[in-house]
Each structure stands twice: as C-alpha cells, then as structure tokens.
Structure 1
Amino acid sequence: MKQLKRYATVLVVLFDIYLFTGGYGIHGRIYNMVAKPIANILIDIAHMVGGVNAIGWAIIILTAIVRLCLLPIMVSQSKKTTISQLKMQKLRPEFEKVQAAVKAAKTPQEQQAASMASMSLYRENNISLTGGVSWLTMAIQMPIFSGLYLAIMHANGLKSATFFGFSLSSRQILFSVLVLVIYLAQAYMTQLHIPAAQKKQTGMLMWFMPIMIAGFTLVSSGALGLYFMVGGIFVLAQALINHLYYDQLQKHVDQNFVIQKTADDLLNQQVNAGTNSSAKTTRVRPEDLRPRAVSEDVAHGGRNAGKQHRSNDQ
C-alpha cells in the first residue's frame, strides 16, 4: 500500500509540474485543462440559478462543492499532523539530548554521529519528518484550487455581475474585512494547541497569513473576495473539527505511543558503529604481531644473526 501511494504521489506531482510549467494565464495548460471545465460548470450553475445575483451564487455553490469534496481529506490530514505534533511533544526531551550532543561534539565525526542519531530518532519512533503532511493530498489540491481561482477570475459575465449590490469585478472592502475576520479566527483556533516553544517560531506566520490573504482580496476583484470568504468558512470549520478532536487524539497518543529507542540508545549505537567502522578500516600486518626484537632482525635481513654466528665460530 505504501509503495502504491508513493507511485501515485510521483505521478500526480509530475502531472502538476506539467500543468504549472505550461503557463498560468488563459492560454496556459492549467487554464485549458482544469480552469476552463470549471468555468463552464460555473456558467451552467449561474444559468440554473438565474437572476441578477446568479454569478455570485454560482461562485459560492461551486466553491462549497469543491471544499465539501476535499473536506474529509483535509480533516484527515489535520488529524495526522496533530498526532505527529503530539508525538513530537513526548519526544522533546530526547531531541534536546541529541541537540546537546551536537553542540558538545568536538570532532566532525562526533557531530555527524549526533546528527545521524537525530534522524534515527524520527525513524525508530515512527514519526514523519514532514510532520504528517501528505504530499499526495497537497498535489491533488493544488490544480483544483488553482483551476477554481482562474475560472472565477476569468468567468464570463463577471464584469457586469453583482451580488446583492456589490460589484464582483471591482474590489470590495467589506469582503476583505470578512475574509480577515474568518482567517484570524482560524489562526486563533490553530494556535490553541501549539506548544509555547513552537508558538514563538510559527506564531508570527500564523497571524501574518490572514493579513496577507485579506490584503490580496483588497486589491483584486469582489469575485475573488467571495471565493476566499467561502473557502475561509470551510478552513475555519476544519480548524473547529480538529479542535473538537484534539483531546481524543491526545488520549490516543498517550495510550498507544511508546518510545522505541531513546536518544541515549541511538547515540551509543552511533558511537559503537563508528568504533567498529574504525576497527575494520585499520589494516593489521603480520609483522605488527611479532615481538619487537625478532621483527627488527628480520627487517635487517638477518644481519645480527649472521654476526652472532661468526662470533661463535671464532
């Protein structure tokens, strides 16, 4: 199963590379292969809805459909990431020992051995180096969200479309403010369960992202503001689901996660491996095993023995 997932990930990533290297505008591959079919669906939905607000409702409906289809995948991804973070918290004392060993290393060999122990700490305790992030899930989402974004950006009839009096072709400050509030709420819920040590590293980025998204909608069209608003509601729902599951996931990790190998075990293992490697690379010659006097006589071609023989004859 893992092998199949690995092959699927490689194929999807290669397909994404093929799409995104073919241009990003209306003449690019991603527009013709992904965004154009989505744009046609958007127009069909607008025709079915009808009325002056049809394009706006079509954007909301299509965005909601795509997000609903991807929500189980996103929630599953969030659970895996949370489990990985909880495991990391339990292993934090072991990682601190390894970091101390790296700092205390006096030779490049010792430093390399400590670094190898750090990598082994992940592997031996079954923790993903990517923090539980699935590259397959990310690779599937990228063309879908990009195609939906391009479809809305270039949708037919967008220039004259309105949504409850708000023009969808010009920027809308109200939409940007709502986007900011939604994504700030999502960032707040995500921060609730991040350890204090990690908050210093990720906190600034978590609060910066909502500001960046809101700023982007402020300089773009109201249609994109509507798209990010609906998408933000689903992102907030995902954060809420993860928040409700957090205690259950923590209980699961506490009951089932057992440290297989500690930092001390892995550091000793690396030291022993280095010692054995050095012993194997040392070449022992036969003469090194002989007594010193004998080996010197042999090295001088037996001259001392000859002198002693002539002395006895005399």
Structure 2
Amino acid sequence: MKLLKRYATILVVLFDIYLFTGGYGVHGRIYALVSKPIAEILLQIAKAVGGVNAIGWAIIILTAIIRLILLPIMVNQSKKTTVSQLKMQKMRREFEKVQAAVKSAQTPAEQQAASMASMALYRENNISLTGGVSWLTMAIQMPIFSGLYLAIMHANGLKSATFFGFQLSSPQVLFSVLVLVIYLWQAYLTQLHVPEAQKKQTGALMWMMPLVIAGFTFVSSGALGLYFIVGGIFVVLQAFITHLMHANLKKQVEDDFVILKTADELLQQGAATQTAGQAGPSFGNETVNRVRPEDLRPRDVTDEKPEQGRNAGKQHREND
C-alpha cells in the first residue's frame, strides 16, 4: 500500500509540474486543462440559478461542492498532523537530549553521530519527518484550487455581474473584513492545542496569514472575495472537527504509542559505531587495525647496522 501511494504521489506531482510549468494565465496549460472545465460548470450553475445574482451564487455553490468533496481528505490530513504532533510532544525529552548532544559535540564526527541519532529517533519510532503532511493530498489540491481560482477570475460575464448589489469585478471591503474574521477564527482554533513552546515559533505566522489573505482580497475582485469566504468557512469547519477529535487522538497516542528506541540508546549506538570505525573492522574477537597512509609509502629496508658490519669486515680483510 505504501509503495502504491508513493508511485501515485510521484505521478500526481509530475502532473502538477507539467501543469504549472505551462504558464498560469489564460493561455497556460492549467487554464486549458483544469480551469476551462470548471468555468463551464460555473456557467451551467449560473444558468440553472438564473437572476441578477447568478454568477455570485454559482461561485459559492461550486466552491462549496469542491470543498465538500475534499473535506474528508483535509480532515484526514489534519488528523495525521495532530497525531504526529502528539507523538513529538511525548518524545520531547528524547529530542532535547539529542539536541544537547549535537550542541555539546566537540568534533565533526561527534556532531555527525548526534545528527544521525536525531534522524534515527524519528525513523525508529515511526514518526513522520514532515509532521504527518501528505504530499499526495497537497499535490491533488493544488491544481484544483488553482484551476477554480483562475476560472472565477476570468469567468464570462464577471465584469458586469453583481451579488446583492456588490460589484464582483472590483474589490469589496465587506468581503475582505469577512475573510479576515473567518481566517482569524480558523487560526484561533488551530492554536488551541499547540504547545506553548511551539506557539512562539508558529504563532506569529498563523496570525499573519489571515491578514495576508484579507489584504489580497482587498486588492482583488469581489468574486475572489466570495471564493475565499466560502473556502474559509470550510477551513474553519476542518479546524473545528480536528478540535473535537483532539481529546480522543491524545488518548490514543497515550495508550498506543511506545518509544521503541530512546535517545540514549541511539547516541550510545552512534558512539559505538564511531569507535568501531576508528579502530577498524573486527573479525570474531580480533580487531584489525586500520591501515595508515604512511604505511603504504615505499620504505628503505636497508639496515644500517648490517651495513656497518659488512664494511668493518671488508676493512679487516684488507688490513690482513
């Protein structure tokens, strides 16, 4: 199953690269292969809805449908990320020991051994190095959201479309304010279960993102404002579901997660490997000394004492 997922991830990522390297405008590959079909669906929904606000409702309905389809995938991704964070919290002391070993290393070899122990701590205890993030999930979402974004941005009839009196082709302050409130709520829910030490690192970024998104909608069109409002509602829903699952996930990690290899064991193992590497390979109970470069240089095998002996003998015979 893991091998199948790996191959699927590679294929989807390669397809994303093919799409995004073909240009991002109306003449690009992503617009031709993804945005055009979405734009056609958008127009069909607008025709079915009818009325003055048809384009606005079509944007809301289509964004909601796509978000609803992707919601289980997004929630599953949040679940994996939360489990990974809880495991790392449980192993906090082990990681601190490895970090202390890296800082106190006096030689490059010791520093390398401690760094390898840090990597092994993740691997031996089945903790994801990426924090539970699924590249397949991200690769699937990127072309869909980008295609929807382009379809809305270049939708037919958008220049003259309105939504309850709001011009969809120009920026709308009210939409930007709603986007800010929604994404601030999402940031609040996300930060509820983050450890205090980690909040100092990620907190500023989490609170900055709503300002960035709201600022973007303030200078873009009202149509994209609607897109981010609906998307933000589903992001809040995802964060709220994860918040409700947190207690059960924490209990699950407390009950099931067992530290298979401690930092002390891995550091000792790394030190033993380093010592064995310096001493040379071992066969049975004997250790073979490592050959030094100077041992391979040509040496003068002539012994001075025998040479003196021969000369002394020769002189003795001549005297006779």
Aligned to 1:176: 176
Alpha-carbon shift at residue 275 of structure 1 (Å): 1.2
- Output the amino acid matched with 1:283: R
Q: 1:300 aligns with which of 287, 298, 303?
A: 303
Alpha-carbon shift at residue 16 of structure 1 (Å): 0.3
Aligned to 1:291: none
Aligned to 1:65: 65
Q: Distance in 2 between matches of 1:2 and 1:212?
A: 36
Note if contact 2:47-2:54 (Cα within 8 Å) is conserved in structure 1.
yes
- Output the amino acid matched with 2:303: H
- Residue 158 of structure 1 aligns to a residue whose secondary structure is coil
Alpha-carbon shift at residue 302 of structure 1 (Å): 8.3
Q: 1:87-236, aligned counterparts within 5 Å?
A: 87-236=87-236
What TM-score does the superposition give when structure 2 sets the normalisation length?
0.89
Q: Distance in 2 between matches of 1:39 and 1:95?
A: 49
Alpha-carbon shift at residue 283 of structure 1 (Å): 3.3
Distance 1:268 1:41, change over 3 A: same
- Output the amino acid matched with 1:226: L
Q: Which runs of 4+ in 1 moved over 4 A?
A: none
Q: 1:262-281, aligned counterparts within 5 Å?
A: 262-280=262-280
Q: Distance in 1 between matches of 2:113 and 2:92?
A: 19
- Residue 280 of structure 2 aligns to a residue whose secondary structure is helix
Q: Distance in 2 between matches of 1:104 and 1:236?
A: 43
Alpha-carbon shift at residue 299 of structure 1 (Å): 7.5
Aligned to 2:12: 12
- Output the amino acid matched with 1:71: L
- Output the amino acid matched with 1:300: D
Say which is worse superposed, 269-278 or 71-80, in terms of deviation: 269-278
Q: Distance in 2 between matches of 1:278 and 1:141?
A: 50
1:24 correspondence with 2:19: no
Q: Distance in 1 between matches of 2:255 and 2:193?
A: 19
Aligned to 2:259: 259
Query: CA RMSD, aligned part only?
Result: 1.8
- Output the amino acid matched with 2:105: A
- Residue 159 of structure 2 aligns to a residue whose secondary structure is coil
Distance 1:94 1:299, change over 3 A: farther
Q: Distance in 2 between matches of 1:190 and 1:120?
A: 29
- Output the amino acid matched with 1:257: F
Q: Distance in 1 between matches of 2:90 and 2:246?
A: 15
1:40 correspondence with 2:40: yes
What TM-score does the superposition give when structure 1 sets the normalisation length?
0.91
Alpha-carbon shift at residue 269 of structure 1 (Å): 0.3
- Output the amino acid matched with 2:268: N
Aligned to 2:242: 242
Q: Distance in 1 between matches of 2:290 and 2:68?
A: 66
| Alignment: residue pair count | 297
Note if contact 2:39-2:155 (Cα within 8 Å) is conserved in structure 1.
yes
Note if contact 2:278-2:290 (Cα within 8 Å) is conserved in structure 1.
no
- Output the amino acid matched with 2:306: R
Q: Distance in 1 between matches of 2:236 and 2:171?
A: 23
- Residue 133 of structure 1 aligns to a residue whose secondary structure is coil
- Output the amino acid matched with 2:290: R
Structure 1 unaligned regions, length at least 5: 289-297
- Residue 180 of structure 1 aligns to a residue whose secondary structure is helix
Say which is worse superposed, 275-284 or 188-197, in terms of deviation: 275-284
Alpha-carbon shift at residue 135 of structure 1 (Å): 0.2
Alpha-carbon shift at residue 279 of structure 1 (Å): 1.9
- Output the amino acid matched with 1:18: Y
- Output the amino acid matched with 2:204: M
Alpha-carbon shift at residue 301 of structure 1 (Å): 8.4
Q: Distance in 1 between matches of 2:171 and 2:106?
A: 60
List per-residue Cα deviations over 1:171-207 (Å, max 9, x = no partner). 1100100000000000000000000000000000000
Q: Distance in 1 between matches of 2:88 and 2:306?
A: 70
Note if contact 2:98-2:118 (Cα within 8 Å) is conserved in structure 1.
yes
1:84 correspondence with 2:84: yes
Q: 2:290 aligns with which of 274, 283, 290?
A: 283
